[in-house]
Amino acid sequence: PLPSRVRIVEVGPRDGLQNEPVTVPTAVKVELIERLLAAGLTAIEVGSFVSARWVPQMADTAAVLARLPPNPAGRYAVLVPNLRGFEAAKEAGAGEVAVFASASEAFSRANINCSIAESLERFRPVAQAARAAGIPLRGYVSCVLGCPYEGTVTPEAVADVARRLAEMGCYEVSLGDTIGAGMPDTARACIAAVAETIPRERIALHFHDTRGLALANLRACLDLGVSVIDAAVAGLGGCPYAKGAPGNVATEAVVAELDRLGIASGIDPGRLAEAGRFITGALGRVPE
Ligand code: HMG
Ligand code: MG
């Protein structure tokens, strides 16, 4: 059965802007996030505390957080790859942190320079520190429907990593089709396998629209009762370590599709479109 309401997690300011060839000025990031809030988005990923050598586009995340208005109805989230990132996130006042693992060994190596097992060991102290600080922890699994280096990724591999993240204390595990390799049947099979190991209420769908199938894939998985969707305004995004990952599914398209299906999202489509025009204008790009 389809859910009656879906919570959208806006990842554009992080997953979108991390992949832009130019570094977007802090003031533009802040205005984008303010516009997203005005559109009704409350769960917003605003940056990451990672190596500035690896991802220079996110180096100003502390400055972004410092300039954002309060977000009483939701939380500003950031990615952290290790304890050092967590400490920086806490210091900067992040409302939520996310660790990011992969279902494929080669992608884990390319993205965070360690094996899957090593990454999980690295996340354990982050989970402990987050719990101690009362900061909610989210988890990502990348390459759940295919890997740019290894090709096929099995649902069992995804379910295994997702379960470990949930056991570690992630309140929600976001399943990333990092390169948009999924199809409705493979997406559904993967999410169904994960739903056998962790409750579906704790699963989020994070699909990239590389081949234009993200909406169809989301539709196939919503049927399983999953009700959290990650999306990026204007379809920004990708991942610098996943060639062929040009964009997250557009928040505008997700909101329109949910509306068509009679599912509430709480987002104002007009104001969301304005936020999309603002950022595509700032990037000098034609909006979707
Ligand atoms: P490393 O080289 O293995 O580790 O990198 P290191 O400990 O030697 O650190 C390298 C440098 O980073 C050192 O500085 C450290 O001090 C520094 P240098 O000697 O070069 O001056 N460093 C840090 N700096 C700031 N914050 C930190 C931090 N930790 C170390 N927390 C590391 C390992 C994980 C740091 C590196 O690989 C990295 O930063 N990777 C980030 C990759 C990334 O951000 N990828 C994009 C996000 S994932 C994604 O987009 C997928 C997702 O959207 C879901 C999906 O679509 O599937 C989530
Ligand atoms: Mg992504």
Tens digits of per-residue pLDDT, 209-235?
A: 999 999 999 999 999 999 999 999 999
Beta strands in the chain (DSSP E): 7-10, 43-48, 75-79, 96-102, 137-142, 172-177, 203-207, 228-231
Q: What is the separation, in whole angstroms, between the first and last Cα of the chain?
A: 30
Among protein residues, the one whose CA lies closest to atom 53 of ligand 1: 15
* Pocket of ligand 1, beta carbon within 6 A: 15, 18, 48-51, 53-55, 79, 81-82, 84-85, 88, 100, 111-113, 140, 142, 176, 178, 206, 239, 241
Query: How far away, in angstroms, is 279 Cα from ligand 2 center?
Result: 18
Determine what percent of the chain is predicted with pLDDT higher than 90. 91
pLDDT at 240 over 90: no
Query: How far away, in angstroms, is 9 Cα from ligand 1 center?
Result: 22
- Would the ipTM clear 0.85, i.e. be above it? yes
Active site residue 190: no
Tell me the residue type at 132. A
Tens digits of per-residue pLDDT, 170-190?
A: 999 999 999 999 999 999 999
Query: How far away, in angstroms, is 52 Cα from ligand 2 center?
Result: 18
Q: What is the pTM of this model?
A: 0.96
For residue 273, count other CB atoms closer than 10 A to its CB.
Answer: 18
